[in-house]
């Protein structure tokens, strides 16, 4: 299937889509399935004083991208190349574009400086850094830059064209959804992809998404030009509202201001389960804490992520089998890449037969994920817990929950 043709599509007066469709891609960034492909959106703005290129495409599609540019202008006319995001799916054609467009200056966020050098392997690239409150006026277009980091890399930014009420949102509001009809009001139903994309790309950076939305909401927006999937022009505010809703921690609305502590465990001979129950009792005894216990042998991954997201404190209990934690524990730890961990406290516990390495492995992983780890980072019990040891579990939970509640102690972070 070839969804690409050479005709640039005008999305607003003198603003053209010059991106490419990739209908055959089936996996994106290793973790995402792309059942009907994706697109790498890029744009060209024509003014009487020169041309601005907005982002580029994946390297393997650059010849098509250049042909589209050549249909609209000569390379000498290009005055600026705005790069909202330097991940290779958008930055692949930058090195060659800069060789062709010798009059052009690259505009990037300050955080993108080292990346630009790493992509081009040149020290003499003409570039300038831009951020919120900086703007560019060229001909009849005024572009206001917006600092929107971590959406989806540290260097990402957005921009807004005042005259067109057009937001270049970068990866934000994207979908891995390939449809050459291009606009949201004429493509097929891409909502599943819009949500899936949010869950995998934006969800780990919810607080940054809310910061970006605060910036976007200052503007009247008629059209959102994303870096992937449909361009959003049919009531674009609703897409902003979806992001806002998904990025707010809705559970907190029903937790009555209490902190949530989630206790996950896996058990072979009930010993780690007994520890989990004692830990639960200890947690529940602390004022201002709501505790819940989950058996990892019977929990669905999508529920896991939701629970983790809503938790202020996370305790993970595991037996040690063959010097390792069993797979359901690693499944829990691996899905943490999809959630925002900022401020969350975590620790581990477990019963063991020989040496209990799994508990330390969990702590190591939690540290590398940047959880806040209390000084008393784990509790291990050999085989069947005694009454006294269960009491130690209770005390361990109390101390953990006091820290979740804000007690000041020196925390370990990676
Ligand atoms: Fe579409 Fe984060 O790149």
Domain edges within the chain: 9-247, 254-404
Q: Is 125 in the pocket of ligand 1 (CB under 6 A)?
A: no
Helix segments in 103-205, DSSP class H? 113-120, 191-197
Contacts of 220 (CB under 8 A, 6+ apart): 165
Model confidence pLDDT, tens digit, residues 341-351: 888 999 999 99
Contacts of 343 (CB under 8 A, 6+ apart): 312, 372
Average of per-residue pLDDT values in the chain: 94
Q: Is 281 in the pocket of ligand 1 (CB under 6 A)?
A: no
pTM (predicted TM-score): 0.84
Mean pLDDT of 300-312: 86
Atom of ligand 1 nearest to the CA of 227: 1
Nearest CA among 64, 28, 19 for reference residue 168: 19
Atom of ligand 1 nearest to the CA of 228: 1
**Residue 223 β-bridge partners:** 166
Q: Cα(170)–Cα(363) distance, rounded to whole angstroms? A: 35
- In the prediction, which pLDDT does 250 show? 62
- For the chain, the 3-state helix, strand and coil shares in percent, each to the nearest 5, are 35, 25, 40
Closest-CA residue, ligand 1 atom 1, reads: 171
Q: Is 85 in the pocket of ligand 1 (CB under 6 A)?
A: yes
Model confidence pLDDT, tens digit, residues 7-62: 889 999 999 999 999 999 999 887 789 989 999 999 999 999 999 999 999 999 99
- In the prediction, which pLDDT does 227 show? 98
Q: Cα(307)–Cα(336) distance, rounded to whole angstroms? A: 11
Q: Is 58 in the pocket of ligand 1 (CB under 6 A)?
A: no
Q: Is 32 in the pocket of ligand 1 (CB under 6 A)?
A: no
- In the prediction, which pLDDT does 414 show? 62
Q: Cα(239)–Cα(221) distance, rounded to whole angstroms? A: 11
The CA 90 to ligand 1 mean position distance, Å, reads 7
Closest-CA residue, ligand 1 atom 3, reads: 87
Architecture per CATH, 254-404: 3-Layer(aba) Sandwich (3.40)
Q: Is 152 in the pocket of ligand 1 (CB under 6 A)?
A: yes
Residue matched to tokens 């492995």 = 361
Mean pLDDT of 144-149: 98
The CA 13 to ligand 1 mean position distance, Å, reads 26
When pLDDT is cut at 50, 70 and 90, the band that residue 254 belongs to is low
Backbone torsion region of residue 164, taken as left when φ is above 0, otherwise alpha when ψ lies between -120 and 50, otherwise beta: alpha
Atom of ligand 1 nearest to the CA of 156: 2
- In the prediction, which pLDDT does 147 show? 98
Q: Is 200 in the pocket of ligand 1 (CB under 6 A)?
A: no
Contacts of 325 (CB under 8 A, 6+ apart): 266, 318, 358, 361, 362
The CA 279 to ligand 1 mean position distance, Å, reads 41
Pick the CATH number of 9-247 from 3.60.15.10, 1.10.287.130, 2.60.40.10, 3.40.1280.10: 3.60.15.10
The CA 174 to ligand 1 mean position distance, Å, reads 9
Q: Is 87 in the pocket of ligand 1 (CB under 6 A)?
A: yes
Q: Is 164 in the pocket of ligand 1 (CB under 6 A)?
A: no
Contacts of 70 (CB under 8 A, 6+ apart): none
Atom of ligand 1 nearest to the CA of 170: 1
Q: Is 228 in the pocket of ligand 1 (CB under 6 A)?
A: yes
The CA 102 to ligand 1 mean position distance, Å, reads 26
Q: Strands 289-295 and 313-317, how do they pair?
A: unpaired
Q: Cα(346)–Cα(202) distance, rounded to whole angstroms? A: 22
Model confidence pLDDT, tens digit, residues 204-247: 899 999 999 999 999 999 999 999 999 999 999 999 999 999 99
């Amino acid at each position: 299937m070839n969804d690409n043709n050479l005709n640039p599509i005008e999305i607003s007066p003198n603003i053209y889509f010059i991106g490419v469709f990739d209908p055959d891609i089936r996996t994106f960034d290793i973790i995402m399935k792309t059942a009907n492909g994706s697109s790498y959106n890029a744009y060209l703005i024509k003014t009487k004083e020169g041309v601005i290129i907005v982002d580029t495409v994946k390297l393997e599609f650059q010849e098509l991208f250049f042909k589209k540019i050549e249909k609209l202008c000569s390379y000498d006319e290009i005055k600026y190349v705005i790069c909202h995001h330097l991940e290779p799916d958008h930055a692949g054609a930058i090195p060659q574009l800069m060789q062709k467009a010798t009059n052009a200056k690259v505009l990037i966020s300050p955080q993108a400086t080292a990346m630009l050098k790493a992509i081009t392997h040149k020290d003499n690239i003409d570039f300038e850094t831009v951020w919120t409150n900086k703007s560019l006026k060229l001909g009849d277009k005024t572009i206001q830059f917006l600092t929107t980091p971590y959406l989806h890399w540290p260097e990402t930014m957005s921009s807004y064209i005042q005259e067109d009420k057009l937001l270049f949102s970068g990866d934000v509001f994207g979908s891995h959804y390939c449809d050459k009809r291009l606009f949201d009001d004429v493509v097929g139903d891409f909502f599943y992809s819009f949500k899936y994309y949010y869950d995998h790309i934006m969800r780990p950076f919810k607080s940054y998404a809310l910061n970006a939305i605060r910036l976007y909401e200052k503007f009247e927006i008629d059209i959102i030009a994303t870096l992937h999937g449909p361009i959003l022009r049919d009531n674009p505010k609703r897409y902003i509202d979806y992001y806002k809703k998904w990025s707010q921690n809705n559970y907190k609305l029903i937790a009555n201001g209490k902190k949530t502590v989630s206790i996950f465990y896996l058990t072979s001979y009930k010993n780690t389960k007994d520890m989990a129950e004692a830990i639960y009792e200890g947690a529940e005894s602390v004022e201002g804490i709501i505790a819940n216990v989950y058996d990892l042998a019977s929990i669905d991954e999508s529920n896991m992520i939701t629970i983790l997201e809503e938790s202020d404190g996370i305790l993970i209990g595991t037996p040690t089998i063959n010097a390792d934690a069993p797979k359901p524990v690693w499944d829990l730890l691996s899905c943490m890449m999809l959630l925002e961990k900022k401020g969350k406290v975590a620790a581990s516990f477990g019963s063991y037969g020989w040496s209990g390495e799994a508990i330390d492995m969990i702590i190591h992983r939690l540290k590398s994920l940047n959880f806040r780890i209390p000084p008393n980072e784990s509790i291990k019990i050999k085989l069947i817990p005694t009454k006294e040891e269960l009491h130690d579990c209770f005390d361990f939970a109390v101390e953990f929950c006091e820290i979740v509640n804000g007690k000041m102690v020196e925390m370990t972070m990676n």
